[in-house]
């Protein structure tokens, strides 16, 4: 990662791989967790629920801390609208944001141009096919070919548009790493430490396995947010990654 993308002044010293998903319905609950965590060990992800409940001011407040915020709003609209939304998100000071790759090349290029207009441009990544979709659900939306091939096709389109990477499952990471090269950012949810419950995740990988499979960053929610001691859980996962 280049300096502009780091949440800290020296990315070589601190580039935490864990992104904690702040899946909360209100600012107070999210803030209580944030106060317990450590920016040396993780970044933070704000998704649609928390953003819709609390608004951009809370994102701005989080972005002023040392963590680095991934604003996970998955923009998907006409190029001009997505570009304007990305520009507004960039102005909040976030570290990473995302769009849907199925919005197409022109939409992604417009998004990239919009974030690059800011001196502190965030990483811009894309969602290929939602990992909640299986082959049967994928067939129903009428796209020809296999889901796996479509993921690779959209990841290549993402790279061609100049974006920094994609969201992908750990299972998809080895193929995408091979096809898209060492610098393409792969952000992976569905992570469960060895001792953790699966919750509603079906295809999971341990943090260490996901990194070995080629993931660049790991999105982790409940194993940390629901832990009795979230900082200890985060530290343990961090240590598991480093082992």
Question: Minimal distance in Å, beta carbon 188 to ligand C5P?
Answer: 9
Rank residues 87 and 143 by Cβ distance to ligand C5P and give the closer one. Answer: 143
By beta carbon distance, the residue nearest ligand C5P is 221
Those residues whose C-beta lies under 8 Å from the C-beta of residue 34, and which sit 6 or more positions away, are 22, 44, 62, 65, 67
Q: Is 74 a catalytic residue?
A: yes
* Residues paired with 168 in a beta bridge: none
Give the active site residue among 74, 156, 175, 208. 74
Q: What one-character DSSP code corresponds to residue 227?
A: S
Question: Minimal distance in Å, beta carbon 51 to ligand C5P?
Answer: 12
The total number of residues written for the chain in this structure: 243
Rank residues 83 and 219 by Cβ distance to ligand C5P and give the closer one. Answer: 219
Q: Dump strand ranges (E) for the chain.
A: 18-21, 42-46, 69-75, 96-100, 123-127, 165-167, 185-188, 217-220
For residue 57, give both structure tokens: 């001011």
* Sign of the four-CA dihedral 153, 77, 111, 13: negative
Q: Name all contacts of 200-204 with Cβ < 8 Å and 24+ positions apart.
A: 203/131, 203/169, 203/170, 203/171, 204/170
Rank residues 89 and 220 by Cβ distance to ligand C5P and give the closer one. Answer: 220
The span from the CA of 17 to the CA of 86, in Å, is: 23
The span from the CA of 209 to the CA of 17, in Å, is: 13
Question: Minimal distance in Å, beta carbon 222 to ligand C5P?
Answer: 3
Radius of gyration of the chain (CA): 17
Question: Minimal distance in Å, beta carbon 198 to ligand C5P?
Answer: 9
Question: Minimal distance in Å, beta carbon 27 to ligand C5P?
Answer: 17
- Which residues make up the interface to ligand C5P (CB under 6 A)? 21, 23, 47, 130-131, 167, 189-190, 199, 201, 219-222
Rank residues 83 and 96 by Cβ distance to ligand C5P and give the closer one. Answer: 96
Rank residues 103 and 189 by Cβ distance to ligand C5P and give the closer one. Answer: 189
Q: Dump strand ranges (E) for 106-151.
A: 123-127
Indicate which residues carry an active-site annotation.
74
């Amino acid at each position: 990662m280049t300096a502009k993308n780091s949440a800290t002044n020296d990315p070589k010293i601190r580039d935490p791989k864990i992104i904690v998903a702040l899946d909360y319905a209100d600012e107070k609950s999210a803030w209580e967790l944030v106060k317990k965590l450590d920016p040396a060990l993780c970044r933070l992800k704000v998704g649609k629920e928390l953003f819709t409940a609390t608004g951009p001011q809370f994102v701005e407040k989080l972005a002023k801390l040392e963590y680095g915020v991934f604003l996970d709003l998955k923009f998907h609209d006409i190029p001009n609208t997505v570009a304007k939304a990305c520009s507004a998100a960039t102005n909040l000071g976030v570290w990473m944001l995302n769009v849907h790759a199925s919005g197409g090349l022109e939409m992604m290029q417009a998004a990239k141009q919009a974030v690059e207009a800011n001196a502190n441009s965030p990483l811009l990544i894309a969602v290929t096919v939602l990992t909640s979709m299986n082959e049967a659900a994928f067939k129903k939306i009428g796209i020809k070919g296999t889901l796996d091939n479509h993921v690779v096709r959209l990841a290549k389109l993402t790279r061609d548009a100049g974006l920094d990477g994609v969201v992908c499952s750990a299972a998809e990471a080895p193929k995408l790493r091979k096809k898209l090269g060492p610098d393409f950012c792969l952000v992976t949810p569905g992570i469960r430490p060895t001792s953790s419950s699966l919750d509603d995740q079906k295809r999971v990988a341990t943090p260490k396995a996901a990194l070995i499979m080629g993931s660049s960053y790991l999105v982790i929610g409940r194993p940390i947010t629901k832990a009795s001691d979230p900082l200890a859980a985060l530290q343990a996962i961090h240590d598991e990654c480093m082992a």
